[in-house]
Each structure stands twice: as C-alpha cells, then as structure tokens.
Structure 1
C-alpha cells in the first residue's frame, strides 16, 4: 500500500554503521538502518529489532514531512523520545508505545522535551544518539520481547528518566485525528521498595486495523533512584508510586530522578506483552536476566548474522551489498511471532500478527520465506487456521490481534496457503488449511457493496465478475486469481465440483476486457462494466487511489496485466506476441505502469509469454537501478514486499506466487548461495556478468541445460544449482 511522494537525502554509510570488534566485516555490518529512512517515503523504522520479534525500540520525532509519519521518525527533526513498538515500511501507522524520555530537568508535556541530536548511529542490532539539549548519550539493543537501554548522563542532580504510558502514534503523526487514534486507559506503578521497577499497561485505539488493544510492560533500572514520582495531565506528584487514568485521553506517566557523575551510565531494561504484566515480567527475566548490555548486543548481532547468512552474495560493489543485506533485514520484520503472548489463543497455538497486510506480502515476501524460512510460512498458515477456528474469519490485515474489516483486494490468505502447498512446505495440516481456502471461496469473495442494496458477493459468485463500483475491477481480478489458487488445492483435497467451479470462475475476468477501450493508440483493457449494461468509459491512465471506484491503487494499464494464471490468454486478447510486447514496452517506457506498487510486480515478467525474456532482464535491471538506492526504495517498503522483490531480482528468478513456478531473469551478483532450512544449499552462478552483460545466453539447472524461461520449485527445493551465462546481446529466447 502506497501513499507518499519521493525525495532523497544523501548521508554517508560509514557514519551510521558499526563493525565487529575484531574489525572483520560480517554480513550484519552491511545492514544500513538509514536506508529507507533517508528518503521520505519508504517508512522503515530506524531502530533495531530481531527477526520477526515482538519489540522494536526506536526514536520518535515530531513534525514529519509527510501526512502520516508512519515510522514516527524524521531524520531532520529533534528527538522526542523512544517508543518500544512500531511497524516498519507501512503506508499507515500503528503503535508508538511504551514511551521513554531521558532528560536533565523534568518536562512531562508531550511537546516539552524535544532535543536536537548528534552522533547518531543505527545498525540492525543497536541504535545510538546523543541528545544535545541534555548531553545524554542514549543507546538501545533488543532481545525478542525486551530491550535494554544505556543512558550516559552528564554530571547533574537533575537526571530524570520519564515513562509516558499515554503516548502513542497519534501524538507524533500529523493527519491522525485524536478521535481515531488515542489513549483510553492505563496505569503505572512502582512495584519495588527501591523505586527501580515499574509495571503497568496502556489501552489504546486506532492506527491501521480496527479495535482497541492493550500493551503491558515491565521496566527495571540498574540503579536505585534518589526519588520517584508520577504525573497526571501535566501535574507532577513527587513521591507518588501509582497513577491511573481517570478518563479517555488523559496523560499519565512516571519518572525516576538521579544525582549523576560525569559520564555515569544508568541502564533500563523493558519488556512488553500483549498478554499480561506477568508475561512481560517473565519475558524480561528470561531474555535479559543480567545488566550486561554488551552481551545482549552481541546476541542480537549473532542472531542477525545467522539470519543473513541464509543469503550469501559474492562479488558486486560495497554499495550493492549494503542495499542487498538491508533488503534482507527489512524482509525479516513482519509479521511478528506472538505465540504465547496473547490471551486470545491457548498455549503454544501459533499466532503471527502485524500483517499490514497480506495484500502486500503474498506476492514476494512469503515466496522468499518458502526458501529461507519455511517454518515461518507454516507458522503463519497454522495461525490462519487458528484464527479461522476462533473468529470465523481471516482478513487481509491483522494488527494488534485484530482483523481489519476493509480489504485492499482479494482473499489473498488463499494465495499464501496455496503457494506453500504446491511447494510442499511441511508442518501444516493441509486438510485443515483447505477448509479455510474453501470457506473463503464459498463464503467470502464479497467485494464492495454495489449501490445501496445489491450484494456484489452474489454477483461475483454468479457472474465471475463485479459490476462497476468501488474497486470492482481490481477486486474481480484478485478474486479470479484466488479462485484459481483454490482450484489447485481443490483438485487434490476437494471435490470435483469445487475444482470445476473455482477453475471456471477464475476465467470470468475476461468479461471486463473491453477490446475497444483505447489509450495512446493501443486497444484492449480491463474496464468497469455495468450490470446488464455497457462498459463504463474511463480514463485508462487514471490512478484511482485507495478504496475508490474501479481500481485500488492503480490504473487500468497496471491491472490489465494482472492475470497471473492466464497470461497466455492475455497475449491472445492483446493481438498476439508481437503486439503484446510492443504495448507492454510502451507502458514501461512511458511510465504508465507503477512498478513501485504490488499489483504491477508480475507485469514485467509477462514479457516471457511473448518470447521476450530479454525485455524482462532489461526492465528488471532498469527498475532496480531507478527505484533502489542507499536512500530507500522510492515508495513504501510495505512490510518487506519491496525488499523481497529486490532480493529475487538479484538472485535472477522471480516467483509467480500461488503456483509452483519461477521466471528466469538473470542475477546481478556473480554468485549467491541460499542456505535452505533443510540444510541443503542452492548456488546461483552468473558467468560473464558485467554491467553491460545483463541478458541470459544460456542456463543450466542442476548441471542440465535448460531452455525454458521458467522452472519449478521442485527443481530446487532440495538445493542444487542454477548456472547462467550472461552477455550483452538481446537474446529473445533462452
């Protein structure tokens, strides 16, 4: 999902990253947390977190350059403080709690303690900055559900650490009215006689997804405070050890005070939970039992090295490696594993949360994890099954343990399930998974209401297409592919009637193909059609926006290439291979297809069906060069969707998610080694590769010559090799 414009701010990498103590460059040292932060749009969080972990401590700033400030941070603004939970790379925000502000003096008002910054560093495993206003150096490194801060104070008798329970994203993000995003209830309590432990909770509403959510916390300090206190709506109560909210949108918190020597270090460790204060306390006891900051930091480094070593590139420039490994980092944040951290599901029931949303991630992120982390994929699917059993539905977005009612497109939970099924992922009861796929096919596919009374769901299931209305064309196309994926499972696990029904329905998108619709001299496009009436004349180039008429976040040019299961049919409707390639090349040349958004991910791959693999290689590289840099990826990262696209493009093959199919594009590194979860390795070699030699001359898969522009997952699921020979000639066929 995309909502922003683009700008670039150049910052040197070496000033923002740390290297291992023995000066040996490890893979984690290539991760640059400023990528996706320097630009105004990628919305990546600058603070560190572990792979798919439950906590993400990060600084927050006021006064962002964009409407929504999804990552709560703007590189040009002063720092307000540090929240423990954020979502990264999204087009709409969430969280921002539990908020900490180290200070000299005590300012409890939301806007009263901002500080300019200096000496800012940001790596995968640690964030550090000096707050110039207070001369306080702040560093933080994460565990799974907990984090430890190191505050280095100047000499003062007014050293304070503020905890704000009421703060959340809406206090930072412009454009998020209080009535939609606000604090409802909460409390903070000093729970030790020395004042070095605080516990409590906050109840909040708003941000992406619907409903209220509660966050519990436990915080401990390494040194007994001189004094403690709480505050309520700006009024400070020195010596108070308990503060509760009295009404919605109250402001509450606590503070601890110290007399510090010059460069004295005080540590604070904190854990959060969506289950209980007891669970937060347990996480803290388990994950950070001591006060050894460097040990937690080293453990975080080690975990990221383990994750990143699943993808080892050789050759390429240092800049290319930084972009690649930062992409691998960004592709490992969400969803979050909240198993055993919720009151909703039982012990050890898989819970994978913070899907913002699968509309973004089904196309590239999950196919990448099928290769590098299949247990995450099976865990997600088992979480889908548990959610369906408990709630009777599994929606596109699931954030803070709540389904969001509004879908962005189709029932794309189905696509994730079927992609894993056809690729043979283990650890899933596939009969139970098919029950969910069948439920969505038979009971969902509801689309958007057509007019005031007519249910478009009934129309889609009867007609196979949705009459003109809100998102009617894009949703029809997505449902068609959902049905095709459902048919793949139904063929093995369902009835013949189900298989035929879903397969037949998946082909009805052609009813929205108007061969006479014209744009820039080209004919044949997907356009809205009235029920029992004609096609609706529209501007084929118009970008319709979000939850608007006809198309979601795209135009007809873009969606007229979204038929992942029937590209051959699309080529025929377009007048044959030559005309198809000419029209698509014109679209890319003239920026008529927004490749920075998910609906267009497969458009460039469709050149294969016109026997123009050379154009696939050309445009993939062109798009990589234009859209990915050490600033960011131009538009929202979308929970790792864009980074996963980039990683596949570097590896030289690309998934048609939901099918057992990869398209060959040619790699951008001389050698890449994937370490699969089963211990096997897949080696990708690019002989004769250079900036000019971008076209595939020949391919061998597992040492055998291969003459098709695609291959199947079965060929690489147990490791093996893909060996390319590259050249500078335009070779139409492999």
Structure 2
C-alpha cells in the first residue's frame, strides 16, 4: 500500500472523529436568536440554504448557505475553517462546512455541490482595532450557528470576536456586503485580491485604492481544483464603499504598507480603515468580471446603481421568488415544502452566467467574445447533470437550457469536441464518456431546436468515431469502444463504466440523428449503442471487465465498491467508477427492454428489488454499501426501472422510500454531493411523479408526494400535476389520466405535455392491478 493511501486513511479517520464529536454536541439545526429578520419571499420562505452543508466530510452535499442570484456569477459565502485556519481533506468543497466554527472571510466565487474545491476570488474579511493582514488566515473569526441565518439571496452571521454583524446579498455579477460593528474600535475591511479556497494558489495579483472615490480595484489569477487544470482563472473586481476611509494601506505577503494605494504579488490586498463607526453600518458593493476591470465596473454600475444594501436584497428576493414560482406546489407537510423548494433552489445555482452586462464573456482558451441572442454559461457538471438537472431545465427553463446548448457549441469550436465538465474558461477533464451527447439530443427532442444542432451533431458523431481536427484531444476509451464494441480492461481503468456510459451516449446520438433525418447514421449509432451487451457475462449476470481476447476479468466481487481498492492488497473493482458491479448493473437506459431481457424479467425484478432493500439504512453514510446509492449518479435512476419490467408498483414503493429516506431538512439532507443540482433535481422530479429518461424524450412515472404541482413550462404553457388521496400511506398509483385520457403505460413522452395540460394521479394504500396502468 502506498504512503498516499495510508495518509488518505489517516486523514479520513481523523475527520470521522471530528464529525463524531461535532454530532455529539450538535444535533440538527439550532434555534437562532438575536439575528435580523431574513425577510424571505413567498416561495423563498421555504428555502433552507443550510440543508446539505454538513455531514461526513467526503459524503456530504458540498453546498453552501451564502447568497447568490439565480444562475449568477457571484456566489458569495463564508469561507469556513477549523481553529488556526486548518481546513482538512474534503471539508466543504464550496468553501463552507457546517462542522467548522471559524470564518476566514467572505469570497465571491465557488462551485455548488461538487467534489472539487474551486475558485474563492476576492475575499472580504472584517477586523477591528489593531489589524495585521498577515494574521487573517491563521487567526480566523469565531462564529456560532445560533447567530447565523440564511434564506434565498441573503445571509447573516454574528462575529463576536470583533463585535460585528456581517450581512450578504447579491446581484448576478455583484456581491453586496453590510457590516455593523458594535465596538468603538477602528473598523477595518480587508480585501484579499489573491484569495482562493483551501489548497489553491494565486498569482498576478494587483490592488489599486482610490480614496477619493471610496473604491478599491483589483485582479488576480487563481489556481484551484479545476481552474488549475486549464491555466488558472483570472478575475477582476471593483469595490465601492458608502463611507469615506479614515486610513488605508496595502499588503504584500507579510509586509503591510500603511498609506500605500497600490500593490502587486501572489499575496496582496487592501486594508481599509473606517475608524470608530460604532453601530453605523458600512456597506460595500463588489462587482466582478472575468473579462476586464472595465467590465467589472460596468457590471457594478449597471446592476446596483442607486441601490443600497436593502435595495439589492429586495431585488435578490424578488428574483428568487420569480424563479421558484416556476413550480407551485401544494402540500400540508411543511417539511416536504421545505425540502422541495430548497431542492429547486439548489437546482438553480448552476450553470453559471459567465456573460457581462455588455455581452462579453471569456470563453475557452481565454478567448473574449460577444454573445448575440443568448447568455454564455459555464460550470456544468455534465456527467452528473445530464441525468436530472438539464432535463429539469428542459422542462421549466428552456431559455436557460438553450443558453447552455449554444455555449457548449462555442466551447467545442475552441476545443474541437463537446466538453464533459466545463468550468470557468476550460474543460476540466473530470469524469469520462461523452455526456454532452445526452444533453444535446434530449433538448432537441424536447423541442429546443433554436441552436446549432447540426454543428453539435457533427461534434457528437466525429467524437464517437474519433475523427478529430488537428490539435483536438483524443479519447482512448472512445477509440477503444469504436474498435472493439466495448472498452477492454487491458489498458483502460473503469472499463465497464466507460463502456456503459459511451453506449448510452451513442443511443442519444442515434435519436438526434433520426430527428435530423439522418437515417443511416441513426441505424449505425443504434447498433453501436448496444455494445453495452458485450460486457454482459451471461454466467454471472453482471457487466464485467473483459480483455481484448474476450476473457473476463476475475475475480468478480459484486458487492465491493471501487473504494475498497484503496485498502485491499489487490484491486478487485478497477473496472467500475465510484461504485461496484452491483451499482453499475442498471446503466442502459437507452435500451431498457434489452437490459431487462439480459436478466429475464422475473430475475430482473427480484435482483433490482433486493438491490433497493440492501440500500444503506443511513443517508449519506460512511460506507454506502453495495445496494442502491443515490449519493452517486450511476444508479440514481434505478427505482424507475421497475416500470420497464412490468412492476410500476415497485417503482412507486421505492421512489416514495427515497423521497422520505434520502432527503431531509437536516444539514446532511442529501445522500452525497449535489453535483450542480443533480440530487436536488432528482427530488423535484420525483416529488411531482415523473422522472426523465436522460438523453431521450421519455419520462417514467412514479409516485408524487405533493398534492398538486403547477409547472410553468417557460413557454407560456402550464402543466398541472394532481395527486388525489396522496398521503404517506397512500403511495400506490391506482390510475393516471392525462388531459382526461387514462394512461395504460407508466411512461410518457415530452410531446404529450409540451402544450401543458393536467395529469391526475389517483393514489391508494395498496398496489393496483398493473401498477394502476
């Protein structure tokens, strides 16, 4: 075993102890006293941003409670840490972790729910009295969750060590801060031009203080988990205050320069002293851009001109209520409403609006371009989000989804192929396969056709065939799948997972080809998508690693996840990514009937049911086991496969179990990383009784747990879903009608609901014949 693996285990064990003792003294969310009214909106009142901010360090949702605007560029949040500025492995990849009890300050950029800690531009840290900027990281500010509140678009926390109340809100490109010091000591705000989230670095930092304008300008290039993969992400800011400066200075490294207005380096910032402003709030508005300083200023001016903190906050609240009202649910259960609207909120944080107010954006390879009739968006965790998040955008926000499609095409123009995990200004290379194929095909099939569909299809086809322009990154797994009809285990890790994902993508490519009238291509890619069967071992009845000579990889230990390979003397699950053979057994949604046939129908139902039975008894567990694991994406759709095997009653049973047991209002309220809204969107869909077959135009039907959902389709049409007699006991569908016509199959296609209408579920306490269909 390598020393790296031993270190991983040691750190993991220490974090388990930290989490254990934290949980010992802190259960659930504390009551909050003495804090400002969050003033939530009609729908924002049901959003609890603290859901998913805690739990086991590597198994939590990796969410943050700080404010952002819907799909905004700025995600302003407290950057938290343990005492002494210690931030150990996998503790809060969004910069915030509920078990932390200290705050470094408040930075403006991050990802949401991902397995990678990224960005952290332009941290603002309040201080009081004699201040040494060099101490800002080693002497963080203590805080308590009892004096911390948040809602959609607003966050506040008391910092008792400096007697300061910090309040935050945002526009799309601007972070608005308000600090109220209750001490007579001099009040300082430190602006760190070169900040980053833990584990990163920065360079090319610059600061320029303009005292007469009560402004600070700056820039820096940040290298973090993802940004470091494509050369760093350079950002610019303009900060404007509402009070004059008593004094000011800069710092470079550990050297402070009182009275200086300019500085540069890899560790540099501004120290602004307002003097004794006891009980007189100081407000700061900080606009950012990734194009230029001029654009940062224009973003700031355009979005906040004439607005004080309360004005920005009111606008943020209104923006969130507008977006959250895209789905209006009725439920007598406040917990369900809280989980639902918090999930909807989390599904509207990414993808990121990367376009400045003047239409410019920084694209791949740092090319500055100007949009025409769309908004350029990035930060798409596509390997995850193609399953639920992008289908949700297709349903309720086709304008946002169209932006994503046009953005993906422009990324491909720069990179030669569609990305699988674009973030900031580059392709991060995270995960595998060609998941953008599912996103593009599904969107087109669901009626979003006003984008460069032919061009996108060309990238999909050429990537699958590895016909690449000079300089385009080759993909050995895609080439192998083309050559052998599966990805051999001889020279590719996670060969089974790669085969299954690539086959799924080819199935989506076939559907798009057919929709574009390319019948020969459609037939070719349909056949190619059946390559998943080449890894089906009829004796073990598992998808199993296979060598080029056709022999199987042994031993096959279906219950051993790939995580066990970290501690076993021999790797036994290297053919599977982030899971086990059992968890990868269900990944052929492009050919669900073919998948069922490989098992035989009765055996399929029996094995899938046992798979659900064997799910961990605990949400976001230390060891997820080898049963159903919603916390990772590859088997997230599994409960709906009973619909394909003639047992929709079991889909209904297990979907309701998942809704109740894998989502809650607690800090560990999701079963794993939310990954850009993936788990959250799963809940939103399932609560309404339908679920997308990703990469197609189909939806499986499940068991809604809300009485009614009015779904604004973003086209002027409304789909209303009703669930008559729905209750925690009445989980089984007795019948479903769509616009008065009874459905005879537990699935529909998008065209059946594209013009709106009414879908009515009648629920009961026991399974109906044929699951109600």
TM-score by length of 2: 0.87
**Aligned to 2:161, what secondary structure does the other structure show?**
coil
- Give 2:552's match in structure 1, choosing from 535, 543, 557: 535
Structure 2 residue 130 is matched with structure 1 residue 130:
no
Whether the 8 Å contact between 2:41 and 2:321 is mirrored in structure 1 is no
Partner of 2:654: 619
String of CA shifts for 1:76-111, please: whole Å, max 9, x gaps.
411111101111111111011201111103131242
Structure 1 residues 213 and 707, CA gap change in structure 2 (3 angstroms)? same
**Matches of 2:494 and 2:264 in 1, distance apart?**
45
Within 1, Cα distance between the matches of 2:629 and 2:441? 27
Paired residue for 2:344, among 328, 339, 343?
328
Partner of residue 382, structure 2: 358
Residue 526 of structure 1 is matched in structure 2 by: 543
Q: What aligned pairs does 1:159-238 form with structure 2 within 5 A after superposition?
A: 159-170=187-198, 176=199, 181-190=200-209, 192-194=210-212, 196-208=214-226, 210-211=229-230, 212-238=232-258
* Separation in structure 1 between the aligned mates of residue 258 and residue 41 of structure 2, nearest angstrom: 49
In structure 2, what is the Cα distance between the partners aligned to 1:293 and 1:454? 49
Q: Could you say if the C-alpha distance between residues 702 and 26 of structure 1 is closer, same or farther in structure 2, counting changes exceeding 3 Å?
A: same
Query: Aligned residue for 1:267?
Result: 283
Distance in 2, matches of 1:84 and 1:426, equals: 35
Distance 1:527 1:445 in 2: 30
Is the 2:54–2:62 Cα contact (8 Å) retained in structure 1?
no
Aligned positions of 1:510-659 closer than 5 A = 510-517=533-540, 524-537=541-554, 538-545=556-563, 549-575=574-600, 577-591=601-615, 592-631=627-666, 632-659=669-696
Q: 1:356 to 1:426 in 2, by over 3 A?
A: closer
Equivalent position of 1:348 in the other structure: 371
Matches for 1:461-540 after TM superposition, within 5 Å: 461-468=482-489, 469-493=492-516, 495-517=518-540, 524-537=541-554, 538-540=556-558
Does residue 10 of structure 1 match 2:33?
A: no
Partner of 1:145: 173
Name the residue aligned to 2:570: none
Deviation of 1:533 after TM superposition, in Å, equals: 3.4
- Please name the residue that 1:676 is paired with: 713
Post-superposition offset of 1:142? 0.3
Query: In the alignment, is the contact (CA less than 8 A) between 1:445 and 1:460 conserved in 2?
Result: no
Given the superposition, is the C-alpha separation of residues 411 and 456 from structure 1 closer, same or farther in structure 2, using an over 3 Å criterion?
A: closer
CA contact (8 A) 1:130 1:137 kept: yes
Paired with 2:378 and 2:36, the residues of 1 have a C-alpha distance of 29
1:689 maps to 2:737:
no
CA–CA distance in structure 2, aligned partners of residues 623 and 665 of structure 1: 11
Sort the Cα spacing of 1:694 and 1:95 in 2 relative to 1 into closer, same or farther, 3 A: same
Q: Give 1:67 shift.
A: 2.7
2:274 maps to which of 246, 258, 277: 258
367 and 729 in structure 1: CA distance in 2 versus 1, 3 angstrom threshold:
same
Following the alignment from structure 2 to structure 1, what is the Cα–Cα distance between the partners of residues 32 and 435?
40
Q: Distance in 2 between matches of 1:193 and 1:255?
A: 12
Asked if the contact 1:13–1:32 (Cα under 8 Å) also holds between the matched residues in 2, the reply is no
Q: 1:390 to 1:165 in 2, by over 3 A?
A: same
Tell me if structure 1 keeps the 8 A contact 2:203–2:267: no
Per the TM alignment, residue 464 of structure 1 is displaced from its structure 2 partner at its CA by 1.5
Q: Deviations over 1:303-328 (max 9, x none)?
A: 00000111111123111111110001
* TM-aligned CA deviation for residue 230 of structure 1: 0.5
**Secondary structure at 1:584's aligned position in 2?**
helix
- TM-score, normalisation: structure 1: 0.91
**Contact (CA 8 Å) 1:103, 1:113: kept in 2 or not?**
no
Distance 1:717 1:18, change over 3 A: farther
1:116 aligned onto 2:133: no
Q: CA RMSD in A?
A: 2.4
1:378 aligns with one of 371, 394, 402 = 402
Distance 2:660 2:46 in 1: 19
Per-residue CA deviations over 1:106-139 (Å, capped at 9, x if unaligned) read 1312424412225211111111111101001111
Residue 458 of structure 1 pairs with residue 482 of structure 2: no
Q: Is the 8 A contact 2:71 2:349 kept in 1?
A: yes
* In 2, Cα distance between equivalents of 1:116 and 1:235: 25
- SS at 1:383 equivalent: helix
Distance 2:181 2:29 in 1: 28
Question: Quick one: distance in 2 between partners of 1:31 and 1:489?
Answer: 37
Where does structure 1 lack aligned partners over 5 or more consecutive residues? 171-175, 447-452, 518-523
Distance 1:65 1:202, change over 3 A: closer
Change (3 A) 1:18 1:654: farther
Aligned counterpart, 1:293 = 309
Question: In structure 1, how many angstroms separate the alpha carbons of the residues matched to 2:380 and 2:512?
Answer: 26
406, 409, 414: which one aligns with 2:437: 414
- Counterpart residue number, 1:520: none
- The number of aligned residues is 702
Instruction: Note closer, same or farther for the CA distance 1:351–1:391 as it changes in structure 2 (3 Å cut).
Output: farther
3-state SS in 2 of match to 1:102: strand
User: Contact 1:136–1:154 at 8 Å: present in 2 too?
Assistant: yes
Structure 1 segments of 4 or more deviating over 6 A?
3-8, 13-20
How far has the Cα of 1:69 moved from its partner? 2.8
Q: Distance in 2 between matches of 1:440 and 1:15?
A: 57
- Equivalent position to 2:318, from 302, 309, 318: 302
SS at match of 2:582: helix
Structure 2 distance, partners of 1:474, 1:352, is: 31
SS in 1 for 2:318: helix
